[in-house]
Amino acid sequence: QVQLQESGPGLVKPSQTLSLTCTVSGGSINSGDHYWSWIRQPPGKGLEWIGYIYYSGSTHYNPSLKSRLTISVDTSKNQLSMKLSSVTAADTAVYYCARESEPHYFDYWGQGTLVTVSS
């Protein structure tokens, strides 16, 4: 059974960089069978796809976040990470990592981690 677990600071100051890591267990990022995505959900609101990474390191980002976003992968640790720079209160959300299968759906999700942007 594939499991994903997000980790990182729960509080980030405005203008700083939000950094999160997702550890995958029960399956290998290296298998090349799936993409690995980040998705976020502001409190009381809907879901927003952030971007994905493939085991090779190729990425695809939501155009609305592309200028501030970096997603990376460490296959030796079976982890993916994301960095979102110049954060504002609008970036406050629960951040999920998820496994993406074809055709473009998310079949396994982490439990999510709340990141609050506040001074």
Binding site for another protein (CB under 8 A): 37, 46-49, 60, 62-63, 96, 100-101, 103-107, 109-112
* First-last CA distance in the chain: 39
If one counts every other C-beta atom within 10 angstroms of the C-beta of residue 3, the result is 13
Name which of 91 and 100 has its Cβ closer to another protein.
100
Name which of 55 and 108 has its Cβ closer to another protein.
108
For the bound state, the minimum distance from the C-beta of residue 34 to another protein, rounded and expressed in Å, comes to: 13
Helices H / strands E in the chain, number of each: 0, 11
Q: Distance (Å, rounded) from C-alpha 36 to C-alpha 56?
A: 11
For the bound state, the minimum distance from the C-beta of residue 14 to another protein, rounded and expressed in Å, comes to: 25
For the bound state, the minimum distance from the C-beta of residue 110 to another protein, rounded and expressed in Å, comes to: 7
